Amino acid sequence: MGHPKETFMQDQAGQVPAMRGVDVLRDPAINKGTAFSQEERDTLGLNGLLPPNVSTLEAQVGRVLENFRRKATTLEKYIDLAGLHDRNWTLFFRVLMDHPDEMTPIVYTPTVGLACQQFGHIFQRPKGLFVSAKDRGRVAQVFANWPRRDVKIIVVSDGERILGLGDLGANGMGIPVGKLALYTACAGVPPEQTLPVLLDVGTNNPAFLTDPLYIGLHQKRLEGADYDALVEEFVTEAQKAFPGVVIQFEDFANHNAFRLLEKYRNRIPTFNDDIQGTAAVTVAGILSALRVTGGKLGEQTLLFQGAGEAAAGIADLAVAAMVAGGLKEADARKRCWLFDSRGLVVKARGDELAHHKVNYAHDHPPVATLLDAVKAIKPTAIIGVAAVGGAFTQEVVGAMSAINARPIVFALSNPTSKSECTAEQAYAWSNGRALFACGSPFDPVTFNGKRLVPRQGNNSYIFPGVGLGAIVTGTTRITQPMFMAAARTLAAMATESDLAQGSLYPPLSDVREVSARIAAEVAQIAFDAKLATVARPPDILAWVKAQMYQPNYGRTP
């Protein structure tokens, strides 16, 4: 996983620069801006195009931070960072990696949701590929237009279910762009090996269809056989253009997400982050919480506010973990309950149930409200993943606290407006006893003199490491055991001091080490299962770390 600079700045003999002048400054992969040395300026024809003072990378970071912190709104900060990404990858990723707590909520959740809603109005430069319904039969030509050929991972969305915001169509490109920025920042996947893709199949959002600044096709969504044919062509041509490329499906609606995962998971190296990544980070949080309560996973009862991709994915992984702990699968499934817009998911609903809900539809009388479901099921954990803001009311959290000495309360929906409750509410309504995790960031809370530090159950703890492990091994498949290993690895990295302050995850500043260790576990499974296409190294963790991109300027050509 080398860095591209020397390739771009020198010819094959290493003598004559392959690019000169403004072309160098316009390529974010090689641009150093004011940090070009005098020798580089002489060689590359940059004298006069830059101010004469040669800056250090550290000075450039300081300048970026000064301007970034001057911005009044999070959307302005998002636009500022997007412009930096367009100019200078090394500087962008250095800022992102050195200040993860400040930058990650801007580059990704919660700000990326607002950015996607406004994407057509703030659009500046393309950062990925748009594959539209009009490209049927010529997707190979679209891939051929991408300027970099060493692509190892694609994040793709069709924009139909962006976070908790619904159908944002082509504006959903902000999600693959943000996810892949985190692949580089969190796991050291070189930026030139990443490719964001938006499948523009139209939108059913009437506001966008009448917005002259909407950047996508002004037509209703493609469906049925035509939709499937475009996805099939995309997958097929992606593998031809970039053999062995990992494809991560992101923010597809339920009716497509599950079936596309089932269709391709045994054919190519692929996963759905909303189903599997969310599952792993949530199970990791539960395992951390059980280090506090002392219970076992197979003894827990989980009630999900939501019955879509995230809920089913978490339940499936939790069941797998319970089975690995000795429980029978049927008994493990009975410990997971779903609650959707019609109430508790029960077997009496019969044929109306979507396929992914059937395994969790149990024999029980209908229950209409979440509060009544808590009282009837008596869960040890409630997990919000339906983007119903405020669903965890004072009465619900109070009922959980009456049942459990340390109730597990995970308000995982994002953006912040969709959160089931705030950290302050969870702690106040449980008298400080809740073991809380969130999907959007919340500030520390002081309750009864104790400082509690909630941390996000953020998928960025999981998917970058899983993707890195898949890339470095060239694995032909990404399997459920890989996500189970990721969950256990993440849970183990929460320290006793983390748990003592209410943090169920390690600090985001540790995410590079988290990703490296998850990648090493994924690689171990790939080698053991004979899925890897490279030779097994003697020290897997050291081998993984040696391949992680570091945002530093390369040598003078």
For the cut 80, the answer to whether the pLDDT of residue 477 exceeds it is yes
Beta pairing class for 270-272 and 302-305: unpaired
**pLDDT score at 555:** 52
**pLDDT score at 406:** 98
Q: Clarify whether 183 is annotated catalytic.
A: no
Task: Find the range with the poorest average confidence among 8-17, 63-72, 426-435, 529-538.
Answer: 8-17
Confidence of residue 7 (pLDDT cuts 50, 70, 90): very low
**pLDDT score at 416:** 86
Summarize pLDDT for 506-523 with one digit per residue, the tens: 999 999 999 999 999 999
**pLDDT score at 12:** 34
Q: What is the mean pLDDT of the chain?
A: 94
Q: Which residues pair with 8 in a beta bridge?
A: none
Q: How far apart are the C-alpha atoms of 309 and 459, rounded to whole Å?
A: 14
**pLDDT score at 350:** 77
Which residue, 251, 254, 311, is CA-closest to 282?
A: 311
Q: How far apart are the C-alpha atoms of 463 and 176, rounded to whole Å?
A: 13
What percentage of the chain reaches a pLDDT higher than 90?
Answer: 91
Confidence of residue 5 (pLDDT cuts 50, 70, 90): very low
Q: Which residues pair with 409 in a beta bridge?
A: 382, 436
CATH 3.40.50.10380 range(s) for the chain read: 60-268, 461-546
Q: In 221-367, which ranges are E strands?
A: 246-249, 270-272, 302-305, 336-340, 343-344
Q: Which residues pair with 436 in a beta bridge?
A: 409
Tell me the backbone φ, ψ of residue 534, rounded to 5 degrees.
-125, 165
Right CATH number for 276-458 from 3.40.50.300, 3.40.50.720, 3.40.190.100, 3.40.50.2300?
3.40.50.720
Average pLDDT over residues 110-139: 95
Q: Which of 108, 264, 505, 553 is catalytic?
A: 108
Summarize pLDDT for 424-476 with one digit per residue, the tens: 999 999 999 999 999 988 999 999 999 999 999 999 999 999 999 999 999 99
Q: Helices (H) and strands (E) in the chain — how many of each?
A: 26, 14
Summarize pLDDT for 208-235 with one digit per residue, the tens: 999 999 999 999 999 999 999 999 999 9
CATH 3.40.50.720 range(s) for the chain read: 276-458
For the cut 90, the answer to whether the pLDDT of residue 18 exceeds it is no
For the cut 70, the answer to whether the pLDDT of residue 361 exceeds it is yes
Burial class (CB in 10 A: 0-12, 13-18, 19+), 137: exposed
Q: How far apart are the C-alpha atoms of 119 and 122, rounded to whole Å?
A: 5
Confidence of residue 554 (pLDDT cuts 50, 70, 90): confident
CATH number for the domain whose boundaries are 5-55: 1.20.1370.30
Could you give the C-alpha distances from 255 to 181, 252, 260, 308, in angstroms and in order?
28, 8, 9, 9
- The pair of structure tokens assigned to 409 is 């309360």
**pLDDT score at 110:** 87
**pLDDT score at 9:** 47
**CATH architecture classification, 461-546:** 3-Layer(aba) Sandwich (3.40)
Q: Are 473 and 531 in contact (CB under 8 A)?
A: yes
Average pLDDT over residues 39-50: 96
CATH 1.20.1370.30 range(s) for the chain read: 5-55
For the cut 80, the answer to whether the pLDDT of residue 259 exceeds it is yes
Q: Which of 32, 77, 127, 179 is catalytic?
A: 179
Q: Clarify whether 461 is annotated catalytic.
A: no
**pLDDT score at 125:** 92
Summarize pLDDT for 45-78 with one digit per residue, the tens: 999 999 999 999 999 999 999 999 999 999 999 9
**CATH architecture classification, 60-268:** 3-Layer(aba) Sandwich (3.40)
Name the pTM for this structure: 0.93
**pLDDT score at 536:** 98
Q: Are 435 and 293 in contact (CB under 8 A)?
A: yes
Q: How far apart are the C-alpha atoms of 534 and 23, rounded to whole Å?
A: 36
